[in-house]
A = this chain, B = another copy of it.
């Protein structure tokens, strides 16, 4: 099954600017993308990176500078198809395989804060909307189509990395390129106010 992986190649991960330079953010974003691609292959998905600019990864890449929602919707017409965000460095083959488990027309893996970090559709008339609370929108869209809907309860898929506090999760649970990139660049765990944080040594 094809898995579309949108990738914002231009100035990715701007909310990490307090801890990473522009070049570092790009390198870290590519490391996360590589982890997602490896996990997708391990779960027998066939990844297709849809990037706003060229990116050097070992996968099929198409460049499309349309907004995220449009770029994905242009590629949903041959279901079943999955859409998996590029910033899920905790994703494992087991976690991604769970997208296929429910016998439902539309399967959503929520992200924190109302995001949709991964989804699978078996209906050609499903479309995405990544503005604001995309999870709310995708639930509504499925309902409006009378599509059956299921959600995957996965911490690994819920953990997209956008903000400095998210980096701790990569150090705690990651095992791939993004984890190694943080370690190689001097990040380590420190305790702070009840939860651990990642900080430069």
Seen from chain A, the residues whose Cβ lies within 8 Å of a Cβ on chain B are 15, 92, 94-95, 110, 112-115, 132-133, 135-136, 153-158, 162, 165, 168-169, 172-173, 189, 191, 194-197
CB distance from A143 to the nearest CB of B (A): 15
The residues of B that contact A173 with a CB separation of less than 8 Å are: 110
Do A114 and B189 touch across chains, with their CB atoms under 8 A apart?
yes
Given the complex of chains A and B, what is the CA–CA distance between A154 and B173 in angstroms? 13
Do A172 and B15 touch across chains, with their CB atoms under 8 A apart?
no
CB distance from A151 to the nearest CB of B (A): 8
Given the complex of chains A and B, what is the CA–CA distance between A162 and B165 in angstroms? 15
Nearest B residue to A134 via CB reads B196
Closest 7 CB pairs of A and B: A113-B195, A114-B196, A155-B158, A132-B191, A133-B196, A155-B155, A153-B156
Do A155 and B110 touch across chains, with their CB atoms under 8 A apart?
yes
Partner among B112, B155, B196 whose Cβ is within 8 Å of the Cβ of A154: B155
Nearest B residue to A154 via CB reads B153
Given the complex of chains A and B, what is the CA–CA distance between A165 and B133 in angstroms? 14
With A15-B194, A194-B162 already in contact, the answer to whether A114 and B155 are too (CB < 8 A) is: no
The residues of B that contact A165 with a CB separation of less than 8 Å are: 113
